[in-house]
Amino acid sequence: MEQSLLLKDGFIVLPGETVRGSIRIKGEIIEETGKLTPRENEEVLDCRGFYFLPGGIETHTHLQLESMGTVTADDFASGTRAALAGGTTTVIDFATQFHGETMARGLKRWHEKADGKCATDYGFHMALTEWNSQLKGEMESIVAGGVSSFKMYMAYKNNMMVREDEIYDALEETQRLGATIGFHCENGLLIDVLVRRERERGHLTPYFHQISRPAELEEEAIVRLEAVNHLLHANHHIVHLSTSRGLTAINRSRERGIHILVETCPQYLLLEASRYGTPSSEDFEAAKYIMSPPLRERRDQEALWDGLASGEIQFVGTDHCSFNFKGQKEMGRDDFSKIPNGAPGIELRLHLLYAYGVARGRMDINRFSEVTSTNAAKYFGLYPRKGILQAGSDADIVIFDPDPEWTVRGEDLHENCDYTPYENFELKGRVRDVFLRGRHKVASGKIVIEEADGRYLGRLLPDMDIR
Ligand code: URP
Ligand code: ZN
Ligand code: ZN
């Protein structure tokens, strides 16, 4: 008979409550939870003083993505290994359909990149770089194959940007299928003009990236997107929300009866636009923070934290899109518009959210677990297999010690990137053990099973009923 393992006497974090108790794992599954006593000869792990959390679900990564003439530094091996070390057991990456390609072709390439290489379980969204009737005709088979969420860009003119008529058409189709679309909300037409203006003025340092992507352009794109949704009321969400203005626009649309789900990222909660320096600063270090949308102001961070706690924002992904400073970010040394956009973050998501969210009293541990795992499991069609600690669910479990205080050092991370934007951040609380489908892959903070045993997850349709 298969041996079970008892995780004994921790605090089981559930939606809305935390209960003292134990978790019994049998094979890949949680057999039971509650007040449990060890069976004869059963292996027991003493978890007194620790939280049990459902394995983190990362909603937004770009692993091994070809972008701006280079490829992101983390592939599926290093990216998911870093995720695992940080308490994430499921990664949903953006498989990308490039110009002229079918979605099936894009998806096949992403499987070739990921299959047999992942340390966590994984799934794909499908990112679209264009819109046409052929892609529309393909959506049904893509959704049936387990990819129930898409991404469209309102930014990146002449590259991936789509118009409102195309958004309408795509949303009509996902509505018919019960799937969903995440939108990158920035006004790509105006960004293009502003970038050109800055370059004409000889403003080429990283500082001018944010000047060409002001908060108003996120707000405006959201208003435009929600005008479409006022007509359709289709499932959708907004990815990597960065501004208070954007959140206000979302809440106004909600008052008109539109159901909108929202993702934000640790960088928009914790890093300020002051990282870009000043108009006259020549320091190229600022390139480390070149991402789209760019970093914002303190008031934006406060609004996003409040939104997470109150239920206005439902999940936190990292938009992990890592480029090395040396050789990659440096491609834009003479022109900020050539700096590859994106930054790493996959490993520290839970740690940052716990230390600056829970430990600082901005949200309770139950909300933390909802925004890092449960809500994503529901919305992205993985619940109750993932995202909850209950009998019958996959034994994806994080044992979290709330006490340690430590400092982030990039060199200690598993991400394959030569910097972290969170260098020297002071943290409280640490991921101790991680189980992926019952396998004890991280023990006392160290990865002890290196096998790439992560499985591909075909996903069901979204459950929109989350807060
Ligand atoms: O700068 C970023 N975020 N790069 C990744 C692509 C995207 O828009 O999510
Ligand atoms: Zn985006
Ligand atoms: Zn992204």
Ligand 1 binding site (Cβ under 6 Å of any ligand atom): 62, 184, 291-292, 319, 321, 341-342
Q: Tokens 């018919």 belong to which residue?
A: 176
The protein residue whose alpha carbon is closest to atom 7 in ligand 1 is 292
pLDDT band at 65 (very low <50, low <70, confident <90, very high): very high
pLDDT at 274 over 90: yes
Arithmetic mean of pLDDT, 17-24:
98
Q: Which ligand is nearest to the CA of 238?
A: 2
Tell whether 154 is covered by a domain: yes
Query: Ligand 2 centroid vs 238 CA: distance in angstroms?
Result: 9
CB–CB of 25/395 below 8 Å? yes
Q: Which helix (H) or strand (E) holds 32?
A: strand 29-34
pLDDT at 1 over 90: no
pLDDT band at 58 (very low <50, low <70, confident <90, very high): very high
Query: What does the alpha-carbon distance between residue 363 and residue 201 come to, in Å, rounded to a whole number?
Result: 45
Residue 15 CB neighbour total at 10 angstroms: 16
Q: How does pLDDT run across 86-116, given as a tens digit for each residue?
A: 999 999 999 999 999 999 999 999 999 999 9
- The structure's pTM equals 0.98
Q: Which pLDDT score, from 0 to 100, does residue 41 have?
A: 94
Check residue 275 and report its DSSP letter.
G
- Which numbered atom of ligand 1 lies nearest the CA of 153? 8
Query: What does the alpha-carbon distance between residue 385 and residue 455 come to, in Å, rounded to a whole number?
Result: 13
Query: What does the alpha-carbon distance between residue 211 and residue 428 come to, in Å, rounded to a whole number?
Result: 34
Query: Ligand 2 centroid vs 81 CA: distance in angstroms?
Result: 23
Arithmetic mean of pLDDT, 47-56:
99
The protein residue whose alpha carbon is closest to atom 2 in ligand 1 is 342
Return the best residue to mutate from 59, 71, 319, 336 for the ligand 1 pocket (most ligand atoms within 8 A of CB): 319
CATH at 220: 3.20.20.140
Tell whether 45 is covered by a domain: no
Closest CA to 433 of 444, 419, 449, 418: 444
- Which numbered atom of ligand 1 lies nearest the CA of 94? 9
The protein residue whose alpha carbon is closest to atom 4 in ligand 1 is 342
Return the best residue to mutate from 291, 318, 322, 329 for the ligand 1 pocket (most ligand atoms within 8 A of CB): 291
pLDDT band at 457 (very low <50, low <70, confident <90, very high): very high
CA atoms within 13 A on the CB side of 159: 15
Tell whether 157 is covered by a domain: yes
Ranges of beta strands (E only) in 234-311 are 236-241, 261-264
Query: Ligand 3 centroid vs 242 CA: distance in angstroms?
Result: 12
Q: How does pLDDT run across 242-271, given as a tens digit for each residue?
A: 999 999 999 999 999 999 999 999 999 999
Tell whether 384 is covered by a domain: no
What is the percent of the chain where pLDDT is above 70? 100
Q: What is the mean pLDDT of the chain?
A: 98
Structure tokens at 309: 């706690």
Tell whether 214 is covered by a domain: yes
The protein residue whose alpha carbon is closest to atom 8 in ligand 1 is 292
Tell whether 22 is covered by a domain: no
Tell whether 30 is covered by a domain: no
Q: How far apart are the first and last CA of the chain?
A: 41
Structure tokens at 413: 């991370």
Q: Which pLDDT score, from 0 to 100, does residue 265 have?
A: 99
- Which numbered atom of ligand 1 lies nearest the CA of 239? 9
Q: How does pLDDT run across 376-396, given as a tens digit for each residue?
A: 999 999 999 999 999 999 999
Q: Which domain holds residue 250?
A: 56-372
Q: Are strands 397-407 and 51-54 parallel, antiparallel or unpaired?
A: antiparallel
SS3 10: strand
Q: Which ligand is nearest to the CA of 239?
A: 2
Q: Which ligand is nearest to the CA of 184?
A: 2
Query: Ligand 2 centroid vs 21 CA: distance in angstroms?
Result: 40
The protein residue whose alpha carbon is closest to atom 9 in ligand 1 is 319
Query: Ligand 2 centroid vs 392 CA: distance in angstroms?
Result: 35
Query: Ligand 2 centroid vs 292 CA: distance in angstroms?
Result: 7
Q: Which pLDDT score, from 0 to 100, does residue 13 have?
A: 98
Tell whether 224 is covered by a domain: yes
Number of structural domains the chain divides into = 1
Query: Ligand 3 centroid vs 133 CA: distance in angstroms?
Result: 25
SS3 63: coil
* Sequence-ordered alpha helix ranges (H) in 337-380: 349-353, 365-369, 375-379
- Which numbered atom of ligand 1 lies nearest the CA of 155? 8
Q: Which ligand is nearest to the CA of 183?
A: 2
pLDDT band at 2 (very low <50, low <70, confident <90, very high): confident
Query: Ligand 2 centroid vs 344 CA: distance in angstroms?
Result: 14
Query: Ligand 1 centroid vs 175 CA: distance in angstroms?
Result: 25
pLDDT at 334 over 80: yes
pLDDT at 204 over 80: yes
Query: What does the alpha-carbon distance between residue 154 and residue 166 come to, in Å, rounded to a whole number?
Result: 11
